[in-house]
A = this chain, B = another copy of it.
């Protein structure tokens, strides 16, 4: 094999299936044969050309599972045949201030998979060794893929809470992120409230481990949370800042709104709503590569699973479009190995 197929975004919203030459990994990099790649809402950054010169083609996809088939110079911890994953962060540099403080997520020189560098809507992908995630044997590629970004995002946001066992934790949005968040929160010992629009997802939320379901179209979520004692934390996954503003009054004293969904409209909050009750609003961004391994092991051990719709590689553009509708149940994954 000297070439591979990939879906490039050639203009905003336009995909092209192309044949690319296989190249050697650069120093510090590895090359993967892709087995599966999840389709994530953040792919819109690439597909809409928001983050870089839209005239340069880019391959989206940052929930990649594959097998290493070549390693670049200086890579000693990984070897061909290793089964690995790559998430949104393509590998930290090790040299910047954030890296030297061990804060790899905030590396100042980290490529973003499928966004600033080519990703996994392809038969072959590249990643920095520092971004690699070892995949447990017993976890299938299709099952692992969505955990690498959606799963990690929720795992990381929830495991960083400083809340007591049994504390009330709410997950806003029961979609690709939230349906995982409810499971993680439950397995971490919290009492879980699911918040979504409409009643359609109430039963599912209960199945996933929520004790309470709140329909945000039908009640004042802040007041409802206070009636339950106030939330120690709310992890907000909706792509809407405005919807998050409404959540702050639902926080218990010392409560924290954790923002993982990146809408384009702002969150707006009254200073007094933060001061009285000493509440906080905090962003949370995916996690490091070893946290991703922690996440996979935790998920396997505790039965946290993504519910996926699987599509063949050739249908990547359609899979992306389907994800965009918001009607997927709940993650869309490309089966590249098939």
Q: Give the bracket for the number of chain A residues in contact with chain B.
A: 35 or more
A171 within 8 A of partner (CB): no
Q: Does the CB pair B165–A155 fall under 8 Å?
A: yes
* Contact of A283 (CB < 8 Å), options: B166, B187, B271: B271
* Contact of A290 (CB < 8 Å), options: B97, B188, B269, B270: B97
Report B-chain residues with C-beta under 8 Å of the C-beta of A104. 102
Taken together as a complex, chains A and B put the C-alpha atoms of A263 and B106 apart, in Å, by 32
Specify how many copies of this chain sit in the oligomer.
Answer: 4
A76 within 8 A of partner (CB): yes
Within 8 A of B (CB), among A77-97: 77, 94-95, 97
Taken together as a complex, chains A and B put the C-alpha atoms of A290 and B241 apart, in Å, by 35
Taken together as a complex, chains A and B put the C-alpha atoms of A180 and B13 apart, in Å, by 54
Smallest CB separation, A289 vs chain B (Å) = 7
* Contact of A100 (CB < 8 Å), options: B74, B264, B285, B288: B288
A259-B283 contact, Cβ under 8 Å, with A95-B77, A188-B188: no
- Which of A215-223, A294-302, A305-313, A315-323 makes up part of the contact surface? A294-302
Q: Does the CB pair B278–A274 fall under 8 Å?
A: no
Smallest CB separation, A82 vs chain B (Å) = 13
A283-B280 contact, Cβ under 8 Å, with A101-B102, A165-B159, A294-B165: yes
Q: Does the CB pair B266–A270 fall under 8 Å?
A: yes
A253 within 8 A of partner (CB): yes
Within 8 A of B (CB), among A270-289: 270-285, 288-289
Smallest CB separation, A156 vs chain B (Å) = 10
Q: Does the CB pair A165–B262 fall under 8 Å?
A: no
A35 within 8 A of partner (CB): no
A179 within 8 A of partner (CB): no
Report B-chain residues with C-beta under 8 Å of the C-beta of A297. 166
Taken together as a complex, chains A and B put the C-alpha atoms of A280 and B267 apart, in Å, by 12
Q: Does the CB pair B106–A253 fall under 8 Å?
A: yes
Q: Does the CB pair B103–A254 fall under 8 Å?
A: yes
- Which A positions have Cβ atoms within 8 angstroms of B? 27-28, 73-74, 76-77, 94-95, 97-98, 100-106, 130, 155, 159, 164-166, 184, 187-189, 191, 241, 244, 253-254, 259-264, 266-285, 288-291, 294, 297-298, 301-302
> Can you give 27 contacting A-B residue pairs, CB < 8 Å?
A73-B74, A94-B130, A97-B290, A98-B253, A100-B290, A102-B103, A102-B104, A106-B253, A106-B277, A159-B164, A159-B165, A165-B184, A165-B294, A165-B298, A166-B297, A188-B189, A259-B271, A267-B269, A267-B274, A268-B268, A269-B281, A271-B283, A274-B281, A276-B285, A278-B282, A278-B283, A281-B282
Given A74-B74, A164-B294, list of 19 further CB < 8 A pairs? A77-B95, A97-B290, A98-B253, A101-B102, A103-B253, A164-B291, A165-B187, A165-B298, A166-B294, A166-B297, A187-B189, A188-B189, A189-B189, A244-B271, A278-B282, A280-B281, A280-B282, A281-B281, A281-B282
